[in-house]
């Protein structure tokens, strides 16, 4: 169970199994999280036509990863769940490890997994995001993924402290995203994806292609995909890894079909919505202004 504390200090309890997943990737389809399975200390910088986005690690911690982002998806889900029931929104959320593990469909759980949650919370707390763009100011322009983190302890059979519950505060930007209800669906099997590049690629396609109504957003060159992913791999390695992922999935990303394509001398990937796809909003959602 998850307790949400609105700004008015009223309490709200939400069931983690009773809500679709929500996430916030608020600027286009750029990647904001490390795709490396090793700690990344190199900042992510996206140079865009209208400005720049920088994501930097601080306090000696590595950048938050695409797996750490699962916690954000979980937390925002609880806020949306409450908002849909007419509850006032707040930034402070209490949750148990069990609630989170059920949400991401993790069945085998031990003390190490609770420590992994805490480590992920620390990376989210110390990853600093700065948007240098016209019209984006104040707390919307500079924030950490989490403003505050705390954990509750018990002593295990060995007399050692073990975290069982967590208290976090999300930034105002994410609360505003919930209020605006900018949502689109993800497949709940997203959590079964083990490759960080595969996770990002599916989210990228879901945002850029949407319901496939605009032909301009279906084709992407390898160079553009590599740049938007912010992968530390070389272009050739990124291309090799992506091809292996697509081959393993029979060139499908859930409801999307994928094929290699070429425009002039430029090579890339062409994404489209399968004619048999059903976009089910009752499953998994992602927050954003979208072309869907």
Check residue 274 and give its pLDDT: 85
Q: What are phi and psi of 46, to 5 degrees?
A: -110, 115
In tens, the pLDDT along 89-126 reads 888 998 988 888 888 888 878 778 888 999 999 999 99
Considering the entire predicted model, what is its pTM? Answer: 0.84
Q: CA angle 259-253-107, nearest 5°?
A: 155
More confident residue, 143 or 3: 143
Question: How confident is the prediction for the chain on average, in pLDDT?
Answer: 81
* Integer angstrom CA distances of residue 289 from 27, 38, 260, 263: 8, 31, 28, 28
pLDDT of residue 7: 54
Euclidean distance between the first and final Cα of the chain, in Å?
A: 32
pLDDT tens digit sequence for 51-80: 899 999 999 999 999 999 889 888 877 787
pLDDT for position 120: 97
For residues 222 and 254, which has the higher predicted lDDT (pLDDT)? 222
Residues 248-289: pLDDT tens digits? Answer: 999 998 889 999 999 999 999 999 988 766 554 434 445 554
- DSSP annotation string for 161-215: EEEEEEEEE--HHHHHHHHHT-EEEE-GGGGG---HHHHHHHHHHHHHTTTS--G
**Residue 221 buriedness (CB in 10 A; 0-12 / 13-18 / 19+):** middle
Task: Over range 40-46, report the average pLDDT.
Answer: 96
| Between 60 and 22, the higher pLDDT residue | 60
- How many whole angstroms separate alpha carbon 132 and alpha carbon 270? 31
């Amino acid at each position: 169970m998850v307790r949400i504390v609105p700004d008015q200090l009223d309490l709200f309890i939400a069931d983690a199994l009773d809500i679709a997943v929500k996430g916030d990737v608020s600027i286009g389809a750029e990647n904001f999280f490390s795709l490396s399975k090793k700690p990344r200390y190199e900042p992510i910088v996206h140079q865009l036509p209208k400005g720049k986005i920088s994501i930097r690690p601080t306090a000696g911690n590595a950048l938050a990863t695409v797996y750490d982002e699962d916690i954000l998806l979980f937390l925002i889900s609880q806020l949306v769940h409450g908002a849909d029931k007419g509850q006032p929104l707040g930034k402070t959320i209490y949750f148990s490890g069990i609630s989170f593990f059920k949400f991401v469909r993790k069945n085998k759980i031990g003390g190490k997994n609770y420590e992994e949650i805490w480590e992920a919370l620390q990376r989210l707390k110390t990853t600093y995001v700065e948007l240098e763009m016209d019209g984006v100011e104040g707390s919307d322009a500079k924030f950490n993924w989490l403003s505050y983190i705390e954990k509750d302890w018990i002593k295990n059979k060995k007399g050692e402290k073990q975290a069982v519950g967590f208290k976090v505060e999300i930034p105002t930007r994410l609360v505003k995203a919930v209020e605006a209800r900018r949502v689109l669906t993800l497949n709940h099997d997203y959590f079964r994806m083990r490759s960080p590049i595969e996770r990002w690629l599916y989210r990228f396609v879901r945002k850029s292609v949407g319901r496939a109504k605009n032909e301009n957003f279906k084709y992407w060159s390898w160079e553009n995909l590599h740049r938007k992913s912010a992968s530390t791999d070389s272009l050739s390695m990124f291309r090799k890894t992506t091809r292996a992922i697509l081959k393993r999935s029979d060139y499908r990303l859930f409801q999307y079909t994928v094929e290699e394509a070429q425009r002039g001398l430029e090579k890339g990937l062409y994404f489209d919505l399968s004619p048999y796809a059903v976009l089910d909003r009752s499953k998994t959602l992602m927050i954003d202004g979208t072309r869907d």
